[in-house]
Amino acid sequence: MKKVFIVGAGQMGLDIGQVMAKTGYQVVFNDMSEEILATQVGKLEKSLDKMVSKGKMTEEKKAEIMGNVSTSATLDAAADADLVIEAIVENVQVKKDLFAKLDALCKPETILATNTSSISITEIASATKRQDKVIGMHFFNPATVMKLVEVINGLNTSKETFDTVYELSKEIGKDPVEVKEGPGFVVNRILIPMINEAAIVLEEGLASAEDIDKSMKLGCNHPMGPLALGDLIGLDTCLHIMDTFYAETCDSKYRASRLMRQMVRGGKLGRKTGEGFFKY
Ligand code: NAI
């Protein structure tokens, strides 16, 4: 495997590409326009410069990484890629349309991976004629730092595809886990209901936001309280994931917090809007 094509050079795609290029893979970033790509690759270069100035990376390594990176605003360059990693908007129809196009374009042996946080791998794979080569490769934010990759099998993902992606995850310095498909996979399945429960505890007036977070930090040794973490992830994202769990299972234990829904409707989404459970 030599060439990796990354669709969506946003928050996640850019970091994933950096990790791949650092390992020595040829990385092609794709996004909606040349302008977005230029901005994003500029950001990548700036963050590498920062590491060089802090003595955490050599100039040579930076040059090597940048030398492994190129961009393309069209999908054509995916044709000879060995692996495609999709990190575009979390919308099932948009992802399926993309996978259908990639399936038609890419060579037969290309593996098509998705970084989706919540969408069914089997559903995305159903848009292709290579369901055995479609897999979830779920990185965590920031992907340059976080060690975990959830490698997620869809119903028809082959063992060969799984083994290739699992080994690749190790090669790029990550510590992968094998996960069967299910809403939210492992981490978000446990994490998001915890954040939601913290919002319900706040809604019921059992304690203040500060004390709920303090309780979980001091009582469970969590580095960050659940409400602050919800603000960091984005309350719109947390709500979307809770609603997906409910839609997939019809289980009332996944009822979203009313307070959280109201805050999302009112534009209090967390850090990105300057206010969520806390003010920033
Ligand atoms: P983002 O909004 O930062 O980046 C998405 C990028 O995809 C943007 O640059 C956008 O212009 C581009 N894009 C959208 N539609 C496109 C298309 N049809 N073709 C090419 N490019 C397109 O989003 P982010 O946060 O990087 O999330 C991307 C994916 O990764 C989502 O599926 C999300 O659920 C998943 N994810 C996000 C995590 C997070 O903490 N933000 C963590 C793990 C997974």
Question: Does 87 fall in a domain?
Answer: yes
Q: Is residue 279, in this structure, part of any structural domain at all?
A: no
Same domain assignment for residues 72 and 96: yes
Strands 148-153 and 134-139: antiparallel
30 CA: nearest ligand 1 atom: 20
Domain presence at residue 280: no
Shared domain for 57 and 195, answered yes or no, is no
**CA–CA separation, 274 and 280 (whole Å):** 5
Catalytic residues: 117, 138, 150, 188
Q: For ligand 1, is residue 115 a contact (CB within 6 Å)?
A: yes
Same domain, 121 and 234: no
Cα–Cα distance between 142 and 82 in angstroms, integer?
24
> Is the same domain home to 195 and 175?
no
Give residue 1's pLDDT. 87
Residue 90 is given by DSSP the state: S
Read off the pTM: 0.92
Q: Are 153 and 70 part of one and the same domain?
A: yes
Residues 61 and 27 grouped into a single domain: yes
188 lines ligand 1 (CB under 6 A): no
In a domain, 79, yes or no: yes
* Residue 256 DSSP code: P
Residue 118: predicted pLDDT: 85
Question: Would you say the CB of residue 194 lies under 6 angstroms from ligand 1?
Answer: no
Say yes or no: 171 and 199 in one domain.
no
Query: Do 156 and 36 share a structural domain?
Result: yes
pLDDT digit string (tens) for the chain, length 280 residues: 899 999 999 999 999 999 999 999 999 999 999 999 999 999 999 999 999 999 999 999 999 999 999 999 999 999 999 999 999 998 899 999 999 999 999 999 999 999 998 899 999 999 999 999 999 999 998 999 999 999 999 999 999 999 999 999 999 999 999 999 999 999 999 999 999 999 999 999 999 999 999 999 999 999 999 999 999 989 998 999 999 999 999 999 999 999 999 999 999 999 999 999 999 9
Q: What pLDDT is recorded for position 90?
A: 86
Binding site feature residues for NAD(+): 8-13, 31, 90, 95, 117, 141, 272
| The last residue of a domain, from among 180, 212, 234 | 180
What are the phi and psi torsion angles at 98 (to 5°)? -65, -45
Which residue has the least CA distance to atom 35 on ligand 1? 116
- For a pocket test of ligand 1, which of 74, 115, 195 has the largest count of ligand atoms closer than 8 A to its C-beta? 115
87 C-beta closer than 6 A to ligand 1: yes
Question: 3 pairs with which residues across the strands?
Answer: 26
Residue among 40, 117, 236 to mutate when testing ligand 1 (max atoms within 8 A of CB): 117
| Statement to judge: residues 127 and 157 lie in one domain | yes
**Residue-range definition of the domain harbouring residue 215:** 189-273
**Cα–Cα–Cα angle for 273, 89, 187, nearest 5°?**
80
- Ligand 1 contact, 236 CB (< 6 A): no
- Among 160, 174, 155, 7, smallest CA distance to 81 is for 7
What is the ipTM metric for this complex?
Answer: 0.99
Number of domains in the chain: 2
Final residue before a domain boundary, out of 160, 180, 200: 180
The pLDDT of residue 112 is 98
| Cα–ligand 1 centroid distance for 90 (angstroms) | 7
